[in-house]
Each structure stands twice: as C-alpha cells, then as structure tokens.
Amino acid sequence: MQIKILSRKFNAILLILSVLSISAGFVYADDGIVNNSAQSVNKEYHINLDKPTIAKGYTVSAFDNSLKLSLVPGILSDDTGVDVLELNEEMETPWRLSRISKIYQYEFLNKAAYDNHKPFYIQFSYNEQSNDYKQVFFYDKNYAAWRPLPTKDYSKEKFVRSLIHLPFARIAVFSYPDVLTSGKASWYKYKGGNFAASPDFPKGSRLRVYNVENNKFVDVEINDYGPERSLHPDRAIDLDKIAFSRLAPISQGAIDVYIEPLYIAPESGRVLGIAASGATAEPIITVKSAVLIDERTGNTILEKNSTSTSPIASLTKLIAIKAFLDTRPSLDRVVAYSVKDEEYNYQYCNKWESAKLNINDGETLTIEDLLYASLVGSANNTVETLVRVSGLSREDFIKKMNELVKSWGAVATRFVEPTGLSPENVSSAADYAIITKEVFTHPIIQKASVMDEYKFYTINAKKFHRIKNTNRLIKKNSFNITGSKTGYLDEAGYCLMTRIKSKDGNNIIAVTLGADSRDKSFGETEELLEYGIKKTQK
C-alpha cells in the first residue's frame, strides 16, 4: 500500500473550503437524543437539503461544528436528508493507534442523489492536542478494519480536514503514538541536498517541513535514520545542512518545525504499520501458524494454529548448537574442515542451493568460528562439522537433539538431521516457543543469534570470511532483540523466531511459520512483537 496525500490540488481545495459557508434554504435541522441501548446514548443530528440549497452548495455542521461535511455544488443531484450520529456505544478500535475524537456516523438518506465519483471534504475536531501524526479513518465493515483517508492536520486549531467519497461512513480521528509531526529540527552534513533523517518515517518517504517561526517550508526525502528518540525526545527530524538552510540560518542550530507527510514509503507491505486492508483491533496474521508468548508468565498473548506441526527449516540449528554446547567444548580448539561434512547436506538439496561457508578441504578454524558461522550465517556445512567433532556419532547426536526438546516439553517436535534441510524436521509454533526459552539460557547462543555480522580468518590458509545475519529486524534496530533465527525451505515457507526484551525487562517471544514471502515473515513478526510490548507493559 502506498499513501499519497496532500497534493497541491487537495491543498488548494481545502483552502477554498476553509472559507466556505453558504447560506441554505433547507427544510429543517434538528438536534436530538436517541437511545440505542441501555448502556449507551447516541446524539443525533438531522438536516434536510432541498435542490436550491444543493445547487448553491452547503456545509453541514453538526454538534457545535465538531463535524462539518462540505458539500460543494455538483456533489448532490437531488433532495436528501442527512443524518449524523455521535456514537457513544462500545466499538473496537485499532490496537496500534490512539483515538482522539468522538466516533461519528453520517448518512445521505437519498443515496442515489450522491455521485460517489465526486469526493467531498470533512472538517473534524479532535479532543487532544499532541505532536503526533493524525489521520481520519473510516470503518470498513468488509474488512472489519479502520482504513485511513487523506488528511491535513491543523494542530493549533485542533481539527483535521479529510477527503472522502462514501454516502455512509463511520469516521474518527486517530493519532500514531510517538510518530512526531511537531517538534525540534536540527541539521547535519550528509548528502548535501533536500534530505533528512527520521526516526519515524521510513527511507524513501517525502515530507514537507515548515519552520514554525517564519512559515518557510522545504520538501525533503528521508534517506537516513535518526535522531535517537530516547536521547532527543522532542526532536522530530534531522535535516541535511542544505535543507535546513532553506528554513533558517545554520547558526540557529535547531528550530521548531511542523511536518506534513507528502508520501509515506511502505515497509514490509505496511504504511506506518498499517496494512492495506486497514487497522484492526489485533494484528492480522496470514502466515500458516504463529504464537506470541509472554516469557515471564508463559501466557499466550496471541496465536494462530500454534499447535499444528510443519517443517521448521533452519530453526533446527538452534537445537543442534545447544546439543553441541552441552558436550562442553573448548571454543578455541582448532579443527580441520572436511569436504565430506557438506555431503550430508546434498542428501536434501542441490549443491548450489545450500547455504554454506565457502571453505576448502583441510582448512583449519576454531570451534568458535564454526558456531558463529552456523548461527549468524546459517551455514549448513559447518553444522555438520560440529556434529563430526562433537565426540558423538551422527546418529547419537540427532538422538540427543530429540531427547533435549522432549525433556523441555516440546512433544510435537522431531528431527532427522541437524541443519534443517530436511522437511521431516518438524515442530509447532507453540513447541518452538518452549524451545526458544530453553536454548537462550546459553549465553553463546544468545550472543551469536543477534550479531549483525561475524568476521574471522581461517588459521592455516589465512582466508578472510565476513558472515552476515539474515534477520533484517536486527539491522533495523527497532527492538532490544535477545535471540533470533530465520529459516526457509520450499516445503516450510519462511520461518522466523525473534525474542525481545521489553523496557520492564520481560522477554517476549514471537514465532511465525509458513509465511509465503520474506517481507510477510518479517512484517508480521514485527507487528506481533509491537503488540506484545503493548499488551505486557505495566
């Protein structure tokens, strides 16, 4: 989903509508009260619009101007009544957003009089003044979700204006907590142009940044991350020196700004975490199975098919490494690589399909190098080398892996080989959450699984290796990640386990299995973790 908002045309029309107040020859308007249930009382507003009124255009203003529908000439073709309700009944709202207005429902009673190819504009007051990004959303019953509308925020006056083309809708104003559109802006030298760094808006987004003092503005593209919100809580954006100079003298250092998003780049198919289908009361899970666990209590926060078994691909490696470390090896022990180790891998895949450390027969390296290559880079051949030098037969090693998980209570888990290349290595999301809690009691596994990269030289050949982690959430640095592992097979789909520590020191575990794309695997895991933080914070 891509959101393009606040075009020049949209802004121009909004300016006209801001002064639009056309007198009307309406039949009548009425404010009243209607009881919808014993627990809730909804306010009702009604107005009849006749043809002379419609021809001139009219702004419907309900509930002391809290909601205005600006119906310019040509929007309606015939008489119609307009009902507006202020809804005070219980209604689910999006988990990642904060509702800052009443929920209103409007309806054109003569729907045939409205041409839905001609959008009209809403002016909508909200309750709380904040520096957070705000949008009008309408409730889409087909998706059971709130969906965003193009919106311009007038924060000083505490209202927004938005564009809509529906003859009936339930609407509300929501804010995105901690996504700042007002605050301080500083400058730094980077690319030398109209660019900026943002901790809120993804790279590729385009923002219009206003200097509050003189109303000058500059349009910038986000090409960097920062400033750190934890260090600069009031800093909304860091401007490139060139962009800052278009708003104020460089000598000012920092200025007060207001940010107007022009285009918000999607990440993992979402815009600021909102999927194309809209914002829902709980995360939307489309992967085959998933679970979200509060490690402290053991409670399941959210799940989907969490007890069904499926292949887990390279998630197998964590158990193999734990089984190896239980033999109490010396990490600085030097061993020789054997090309025969990787031949086990080719029982399950072609040579060019296997993730491997490119190393020659007879090259020497340490046990530590093998461990990090196996976990950081998910190399299959190095796992087999560890099995060979473990002191156990391969059969006994795999038996030990199975015994370990059974002793932990992961009764639906089974391994036939140590790398994850076999689709017969199976587990469930619920089982793997149990496994996660156990394997990350080992500090080496914890450290290796969250490293962005690992570098080393082989000992006799002096060959340099740089191994990079495949979990993009580590690079994104949005969470305090305390454990992670990715996996992929055609039969397994994309699998991901991520364990994070929340601000109160609690660990939250998310396991997603069977995603049909890498973007979906990361995107849904990230959403689950954010939901977990919100649900477990004290």
Neighbouring residues of 289: CB distance < 8 A, sequence distance ≥ 6: 304, 305, 306, 308, 310, 428, 429, 512, 513, 514
DSSP letter string, 45-98: EEEEE-HHHHHH-EEEEETTTTEEEEE-TTSB-S-EEEEEEEE-S-----TTSE
Does the domain formed by 289-536 have CATH 3.90.110.10? no
Q: What is the pLDDT of residue 33?
A: 44
pLDDT digits (tens, 9 = 90+) for 451-468: 999 999 999 999 999 999
Could you check whether the bond before residue 283 is cis, i.e. omega within 30 degrees of 0?
A: no
pTM, two decimal places? 0.80
Neighbouring residues of 292: CB distance < 8 A, sequence distance ≥ 6: 300, 301, 302, 303, 508, 509, 510, 528, 529, 531, 532
CATH class, domain 181-273, is mainly beta
10-residue stretch averages of pLDDT, the chain, 538 residues long: 40 41 40 47 95 94 96 94 93 92 96 92 91 96 93 93 96 95 96 95 97 97 91 94 97 96 90 91 94 95 97 98 97 96 95 93 97 95 98 97 98 97 98 97 93 95 93 83 95 97 91 95 92 87
Residues 371, 289: Cα–Cα separation, whole Å:
29
Residues 151, 6: Cα–Cα separation, whole Å:
7
Rg (CA), the chain: 29
Residues 538, 533: Cα–Cα separation, whole Å:
10
CA 184, 186, 191, 193 torsion: positive or negative? Answer: positive
pLDDT digits (tens, 9 = 90+) for 101-129: 999 999 999 999 998 888 999 999 998 88
Token pair 């990640």: residue: 481
- Residue spans of the domains in the chain: they are 3-177, 181-273, 289-536
3-177: what fold? Chondroitinase Ac; Chain A, domain 3 (2.60.220)
- Per the CB < 8 A criterion, the answer to whether 303 and 429 are in contact is yes
| 181-273 matches 289-536 in fold | no
Q: What is the pLDDT of residue 128?
A: 81
Q: CA angle, 440 as apex, 483 and 469 as ends, to 5°?
A: 30
Half-sphere exposure of 141 (CA within 13 A, CB side): 3
Q: What is the pLDDT of residue 4?
A: 37
Q: What is the pLDDT of residue 23?
A: 35
CA 59, 62, 68, 69 torsion: positive or negative? Answer: negative
Residues 40, 31: Cα–Cα separation, whole Å:
17
In degrees and rounded to multiples of 5, residue 438 shows phi and psi of -80, -45
Q: What is the pLDDT of residue 40?
A: 63
Which residues, in sequence order, are bridge partners of residue 162?
122, 151
> Burial letters for 430-463: b for 16+ Cβ neighbours within 10 Å, e otherwise?
bbbbbbbbbbbeeeebbebbbbeebebebeeeee
